[in-house]
Amino acid sequence: MGSRVLLVEDEINIFEAISFILSRDGWEVSGHGNGATAVAEVARLNPDVLVLDVMLPGRSGLDILRDLRGQAETADLPVLMLTAKGQSKDRDLALALGANAYLTKPFSNAEMVETLRRVAEGGAAAGT
């Protein structure tokens, strides 16, 4: 793909696995693990797409998403929410806040790549 993705994920094993999968697919992957400074990292890196965990130290991914959607510079940034929280109310809230897609852990490699491609291309993909 050749696009830049910022992966905000605090679990190093999950970050490394996703980074490997996406790098192999042609993505340029950067990582960040602290919710409290994630908005600043998005501004600094200006990624093409964001993969955002819901449960992060320092700040919730949902709060981060709310802030990003409230800023003109990031209002249209494609965001894939990634979480272990699979209840429909969690997914509905993330989508209502402006997430382009919602993917629950565990996920397959193909599911991650396909969902991120759709999100980056501007397609909404509700995920599972």
Tens-digit pLDDT profile for residues 62-106 = 999 999 999 999 999 999 999 887 778 888 999 999 999 999 988
Average pLDDT over residues 24-38: 97
Question: Considering the domain boundaries, does residue 58 fall inside one?
Answer: yes
SS3 68: helix
Closest CA to 41 of 24, 11, 61: 61
Residue 1 has pLDDT above 50, yes or no: no
Judge whether 120 lies within some domain: no
Place of tokens 């340029």: 28
More confident residue, 84 or 61: 61
- Give the pLDDT of residue 84: 84
- Give the domain extent around 69: 4-109
Task: Provide the number of structural domains found in the chain.
Answer: 1
What is the C-alpha separation between 38 and 46, in angstroms, rounded? Answer: 12
Percent of the chain exceeding pLDDT 90 equals 84
Domain annotation covers residue 126: no
Q: Which residue has the higher pLDDT, 84 or 18?
A: 18
The CA distance from 128 to 19, in Å, is 21
101 in a structural domain: yes
- Of the pLDDT bands very low, low, confident and very high (cuts 50, 70, 90), residue 128 is very low
Mean pLDDT of 48-58: 95
Residue 115 falls inside a structural domain: no
- Residue 32 has, within 13 A of its CA and on its CB side, a CA count of 25
Phi, psi of 103 (to 5 degrees): -120, 130
CATH code: domain of residue 87 = 3.40.50.2300
Query: For all residues of the chain together, what is the average pLDDT?
Result: 92
List, edge to edge, every strand of the sheet that includes 28-32.
28-32, 4-8, 49-53, 79-83, 101-104
Q: Determine how β-strand 4-8 pairs with β-strand 49-53.
A: parallel
Task: Give residue 2's pLDDT.
Answer: 54
User: What is the phi/psi pair of residue 7, to 5°?
Assistant: -105, 110
- Domain-located, residue 128: no
